Amino acid sequence: MNAALAIDALSHRYGERLALDKVSLTVEAGQCCILLGPNGAGKSTLFGLLSRLLAVKSGSIKVFGQALQAAALARVGVVFQQSTLDLDLTVEQNLAYFGALHGMHGAALKQRITEELDRLELGPRRRDRVRELNGGHRRRVEIARALLHRPALLLLDEPTVGLDVPSRQFLIGHLHRLVRDEGLALLWATHLIDEIDPQHDHVALLHRGRLLASGAVAPLLSEAGCADLASWFDHATGATA
C-alpha cells in the first residue's frame, strides 16, 4: 500500500541559502511522526512545500501515492504555526466557510462542525467570535477546522507554541488519540521533546536543513547509546548542555 506521505530527496533554496538538503521521509497511515528540530532547522520550509505555499523545484512529495495536486490535497488537513482564523467571525462561521471550500454544505456540514467542536470541548463557544477566545481555544478551532473534511493526513507546524501547559496537554492527548483510534497519519513539527510519546511515535530529526535520523524512538536511542530523547537530541545536533 502507498504511504500516507512520501517525501523523496526534497531540497529548497532561498537564493544562495540551502534551507532543505535532499530530505526523504515516509509517514504511514496510523502513524504519528514527530518532526523534531531546533528553530531554523527547516521545519516551516518543509511545511510550506507540503502545503504548496512554496513550489517544489527539487525532489518529490506524494500523498497516498499521488503527486501533490488538488486531488491529493483534498485528503490533507493543515494547521500552520501562525493562526489563519478570521477573528471577526464566530467559531462556527470560520468552520462553515472552510467546509464550503471543500464542497460541504447543509445539514451534513452542520453535523460535522458539531462533531469536531464537541470532541475538542468547544461546543458552548461555537457562536463566540474568535477574538474572544484565548490562544488555546483558538488553536482547538484551527484543529477542528483542519479535520472537518475528514482528512487522512494531518500536518501540524508547531501547533502548541505559546500555549499554557493545560492547553498543550489537552492537544497532545487529543491528537495522539486521533492517530491511535482513527488511523490518522500525522506529521507534527515541534522543537519540544515532551510532546513525543516514546512508546508509539516515530521521530524525524531535522537540523540545518538535513534529516539526521528517523524511526521509532527505542532503536534510535539504542543506536546512539543514549538513555533518553533529550540526550539523543543533544548528541545528534551537537548541542551543549
Give 26-44 pLDDT, tens digit per residue.
999 999 999 998 888 899 8
Which residue reads 527547516 in cell numbers? 42
Tell me how many domains the chain contains.
Answer: 2
Same domain as 90, residue 20: no
pLDDT of residue 39: 82
Q: Which residues have C-beta within 8 Å of that of residue 37, sequence separation ≥ 6?
A: 43, 189, 191, 205, 206, 207
The reported pTM is 0.89
Range of the domain at 59: 1-75+153-241
Same domain as 170, residue 185: yes
Domain boundary among 150, 169, 191: 150
pLDDT of residue 163: 84
Same domain as 165, residue 231: yes
Average pLDDT (2-20) is 94
Same domain as 182, residue 115: no
Strand partners, 5: 27, 63
Q: Is residue 80 a part of any domain in this protein?
A: no
Mean pLDDT of the chain: 91
Average pLDDT (91-96) is 96
Same domain as 216, residue 133: no
pLDDT of residue 89: 97
Residue 241, pLDDT > 80, answer no
Q: Is residue 201 a part of any domain in this protein?
A: yes
Average pLDDT (69-89) is 89
Q: Is residue 81 a part of any domain in this protein?
A: no
Same domain as 197, residue 142: no
pLDDT of residue 47: 92
